[in-house]
Amino acid sequence: MEETTSRSAAVRDGLGVGLAVGLSGLAFGAAAITAGLSVPQACVLSLLAFTGASQFALTGAVGAGGDLVAAALGALLLGGRNTLYGLRLADLLQVRGPRRLLAAHGVIDETTAVALAQPTPKAARTGFAVTFAALYITWNLATLAGAYGTSFLGDPGALGLDVVGPVAFLAILWPRLTASAELRGLAAGAAVIALCATPFFPSGVPVLLSAAAVLVVMFR
């Protein structure tokens, strides 16, 4: 009975998180079109990348005129945290065979948070699966809607939609910045590095260089 209750709670948590966060795909779809991507490109990026912060970082750098290679490297660097999540979840999820590839695609902030919040391994696996399914479907449908709708506006920048990407990206990061004074110091250091490097490097490269601020925390 207790296990059934735990799994029911995991389903409720997964659906709630998946639907709520997935709707922000509307903002990504709009940001992608504003950055110069086509509707199919925006949709394929959501289908294959499926990590919101990295997608916003990529489109933001491209929209600012940055080099595609630098933008992609920045997105990969930001998405590297999912590898650490995967190491933490591997024993908990106990996925074997080809399904590991599908499970790896679903290892992101939200699925990890819901899974680790559950009291039992079975509930954790249920929470992960439900969150992944709900978020993946909602995010991709919302991306399509946002991109398709924005593509009819002519010049999205004329309506101020060019700020959608940066604002949504900040909204994703804000809870993390308010949670720790050390993270705020890290963000401030990264911002200083990026600002100092901006006059001397192409768009996208200063963001990569700002990651050097992490080294200070690591040495400490």
pLDDT in tens, 80-109: 778 888 888 988 988 888 889 999 999 998
Burial profile 134-143: b = 16 or more Cβ within 10 angstroms, e = fewer: bbbebbbbbb
pTM of the predicted model, to two decimals?
A: 0.75
Q: How far apart are CA 5 and CA 185, in angstroms?
A: 41
List the chain domain ranges.
2-179
- Does the pLDDT of residue 71 top 70, yes or no? yes
Q: How far apart are CA 217 and CA 208, in angstroms?
A: 17
- High-pLDDT (> 90) share of the chain, %: 23
Q: Which two tokens stand for residue 189?
A: 């250091």
pLDDT in tens, 167-200: 655 665 666 666 667 777 777 777 777 778 777 7
Q: Which two tokens stand for residue 82?
A: 């999912």
Q: How far apart are CA 20 and CA 14, in angstroms?
A: 10
